[in-house]
Structure 1
Amino acid sequence: MLGVSAALVLVVMVVVALVLENRVKPDTTVQVAPTTSTTAAPVVLPPITRSLKDGDEGDDVRMLQSRLAELKFAPGPIDGVFGRSTTQAIWAFEKLVMSVRSDKATGVVTPEMWDVLRSDVQIRPRRNADTPRHAEAYLPEQVIVTFLGGEPTLISHMSSGDNKPWCEEVVIDPGEEGNDSPEQIAAGLPLKVGICGDSVTPAGIFTFYRRSSGTRETKLGTLYNPVYFNQGIAVHGAILVPLKPASHGCIRIPMSVAQLFPALVQFRDRIYVFDGVKEPEEYGSPLPPADRPDPNYTTTTVLPTTTLPATTVPTAVPVTTIPATTVPKTVPTTLPTSTTVP
């Protein structure tokens, strides 16, 4: 009887300790918690005996890929081959869970990192959105996450605007901003112009309102499967998604991830962009900096359709739009912007 009483006291102490801990750290995005289920024993993954990196192959790589996929880090095919997609998934894990600085991720899984990966890692949203699905982009970590009902559905490495001015010659497909008048759309011709802008990804709360399938040429560059949320700024696939901000303002994600992302968000779903300085609600929904004509560019050219590959000049514009949605200005309790692992 004494043993039962002692056990009950111990359980109560553990519960109280957990409650107190949650009061101190109520809003951590990432939790590595002990398994508490009593209905079924969890599957315990074995340790690894080597560090895993790009180019490695084997059953341990397959086990790593399966675990990353289970956590929604999108490692690519689960084939036992450590390739580019697996590397980028590890980058996202390092930055979001291991608190590695965004430009210092290695893509290497050490036995110690695997111990964290195979523990009870839980990714939680920083906001309870007013839509069933929503996305959160963390500019300091350079990671984007989609959620459904508070559970992650996709976690990806990303690259946002580098906050630098730029001037370039760009090609704009018909139907995209800058080549979207009724006459231009009817003509169906791409437009070559010189544009200057500022590579800023504004923080705040926005709404997904338009999307296109395939590759589109826009003022901000070449976008694959773009899903727009702030005028011409979109989440889109790109061939180059480096370990630092490098876009003209969009959120670049790997091409393989861009094949998954559009199905995980819908029109009017929210995206919260965190910059680590203020809360998204404090910014509202600011527009991106306006672009301007390049003063040193002398020729604006309407290109014939035969000068571009057919895949980049569709005869019909696969674009859908919805009315803009007003974002409430209320500011909830301030949440930490850093990612912590208890």
Structure 2
Amino acid sequence: MTRLATPPVPTRRALLVGAPVLAGSLALGTSPASAKDPVLHPGDRGSAVKTMQKDLAARGYWCGSADGSFGATTTQAVYALQKAAGLAKDGVFGAKSRAALKKGTRPKPRITSGTAFEVDKKKQLLYCISGGTLKYILNTSTASGKKYYSGGRWKTATTPSGDFKMYSFPSSGWQTAPLGRLYRPGYYDRGWAIHGATSIPPYPASHGCSRLSVAATDMLWKGGWMKKGRRVLVH
């Protein structure tokens, strides 16, 4: 029997200088799947992140400027997409999130006319509607449903449902309230408001208000969204 010669294994140097690679081999540190559709995580940077940001913004998932940096504002947008699509809310832009975005996944608000805010407690999303059209989809965190102690008694964190109008804007910056700090709040029902916060997890965690990121809150103020008489539908 004739013994077949064993083909030589390419050295690291041969791979680096461009020598022919045997069939079935891959260049170091790469794979066709990851090169085509990379899984993006908070903290990542680069052109793939910038493309993702542009695609998110085109679908209404506000993430600030497309700067190629997967920071906190972009993470909030990915949370919003994942909530709208019914996916695990991990903030990682993987295959399922990419498919949902490519498919054009967007929630369907109840408000179909006028300019208003709509807080969807089930999905934990806040919709910004302009002229009856859904413009922005923002991650929000409403009441946790947990007990807390305030004013000499125990209370339950709740976000009441209803159709309200904004009536008070007591601070142009951070406001210290009995239950914590609120950034540029817009009150619409007694002590309930839409406001910025430093923590907006992808689940209900507030005492009752609808939390948004500081960046999103600034965007809404700059765009004229926060004004007296603005409709706020909570359901």
TM-score over 0.5 (shorter chain): yes
Q: Deviations over 1:84-115 (max 9, x none)?
A: 2111110011101x113xxx401111234323
Distance in 1 separating the partners of 2:154 and 2:173: 25
Cα drift, residue 123 of structure 1: 4.7
AA paired with 1:108?
Answer: V
Q: Write the deviation string for residues 132-154 of structure 1: whole angstroms up to 9, x where unpaired.
A: 21111111111111100122232
Equivalent residue for 1:84, pick from 72, 80, 84: 72
| Alpha-carbon distance in 1 for matches of 2:63, 2:36 | 18
Under a length normalisation based on structure 1, what TM-score does the superposition of the two structures give? Answer: 0.54
Counterparts in 2 of 1:259 and 1:48: CA distance versus 1, 3 Å: farther
What TM-score comes out, normalization by structure 2 length? 0.76
CA contact (8 A) 2:59 2:104 kept: no
Deviation at 1:194, TM superposition (A): 6.0
CA offset at residue 79 of structure 1? 1.2
Does residue 1:271 correspond to 2:229, yes or no? no
Work out the number of aligned pairs and report it. Answer: 198
CA distance in 1, matches of 2:43, 2:77: 15
Residue in 1 that maps onto 2:62: 74
Question: For 1:247, which of 206, 216, 232 is the aligned residue?
Answer: 206
Query: Is 2:111 the partner of 1:127?
Result: yes
Matches within 5 A, 1:305-324: none
- The answer for unaligned runs of 5 or more in structure 2 is 1-34
1:247, distance to aligned residue in structure 2 (A): 1.2
Query: In 2, distance between residues paired with 1:116 and 1:241?
Result: 22
- 2:157 alignment counterpart: 199
2:99 aligned with 1:138 = no
Gaps of 5+ in 1: 1-46, 169-192, 275-342
Matched, 1:157 2:144: no
Matched, 1:210 2:168: yes
Which gives a bigger RCO, structure 1 or 2 (Cα 8 Å, sep 6+)? 1
Matches within 5 A, 1:20-35: none
* 1:54/1:232 CA distance change after superposition, 3 Å: same
AA in 2 matched with 1:204: G
Q: Which amino acid aligns with 2:193?
A: A
Post-superposition offset of 1:81:
1.3
CA distance in 2, matches of 1:218, 1:89: 27
Corresponding position of 1:106: 90
3-state secondary structure, aligned to 1:163: coil
